[in-house]
Amino acid sequence: MDAARHESEPLISYLSNLQTLREEIVEQAKAKTFRISVRKNNILPCFNELHGDCLFFIIKGLVRGFIVDEGKDITSWLIEENHLIGSIRNPGSIKPTYQEQFQALEDSELLILPYHFIDDMYVQFPETNVLARKLLAIHYYMSQERSILSRIPSAEARYRQFKNGHNTLQLRVPLKFLASYLGIRIETLSRIRKKEKPEGKVKN
């Protein structure tokens, strides 16, 4: 795993499209965030011991979030470029039931945003609280999508719904992780895909 300082322009561009950023915020982002490279299939590092809790901004690549329940690996997130990913902090003291981990499904470039940096921005620059509300709305919408998807009773309809919303993403995700995310058996997903017209290379 290789770490490099700065190179935060993709993040700054993403945030600037949501909220105008004053120059001081841009300079702080350049100074306090840093870029890492993660090879395909590697687990994203846990920075709790070194840097405190953090978020990841995906510059390039594909990442899945997952939990392990009684030895079973369950995919909970599938996120591609130009998105933030990370464990959401509970403002109270309730400990999460499951500890999420994150794995690169392709060679990936990510930017680390330590939570202490985010908290400092809230205090120093009030407008970043507006930005935070917009980011929260985006993540709430994504969470709502995942919640609705998991409740669709038909496996075929579940896959179709995912494909309609993520047409390119569904071709990048290995079959076993997509099946886990959709809550269906690999054999069922393979059968559903065989009914579909070929649209490109399918990962296995």
What are 93-144's pLDDT values in tens digits?
Answer: 556 666 788 999 999 999 999 888 999 999 999 999 999 999 999 989 988 9
Burial of 181 by CB count in 10 Å (0-12 exposed, 13-18 middle, 19+ buried)? buried
Least confident of 39-48, 118-127, 163-172, 186-195: 39-48
Whether 133 is covered by a domain: the verdict is: no
Of 113, 107, 142, the closest CA to residue 14 belongs to: 113
User: Are residues 120 and 63 both part of a single domain?
Assistant: yes
- CATH number reported for the structural domain that contains residue 91 in this entry: 2.60.120.10
Quote the number of domains for the chain.
2
**How confident is the model at residue 99, as a pLDDT?**
79
Q: What confidence tier does 50 reach under pLDDT thresholds 50, 70, 90?
A: very low
- Whether residue 42 is predicted with pLDDT greater than 60 in this model: the reply is yes
Q: Is residue 200 part of a domain?
A: no
Q: Where are the alpha helices (DSSP H) in the chain?
A: 9-16, 23-32, 48-51, 115-124, 127-151, 155-165, 169-172, 175-182, 186-195
| Statement to judge: residues 86 and 167 lie in one domain | no
Same domain, 118 and 160: no
Q: Are residues 118 and 156 in the same domain?
A: no
Considering the domain boundaries, does residue 139 fall inside one?
A: no
Range of the domain at 29: 2-126
Examine residue 163 and state whether it is found in any structural domain, yes or no. yes
Q: Is 185 among the domain residues?
A: yes
For residue 167, pLDDT over 50 is answered with: yes
Q: What is the pLDDT of residues 58-93, one digit of tens each?
A: 999 999 999 998 889 999 999 999 999 987 666 565
- pLDDT tens-digit map of 127-140: 999 999 999 999 89
99 assigned to some structural domain = yes
What is the overall mean pLDDT for the chain? 86
Judge if 22 and 62 occupy the same domain. Answer: yes
Q: How confident is the model at residue 170 (pLDDT cuts 50, 70, 90)?
A: confident
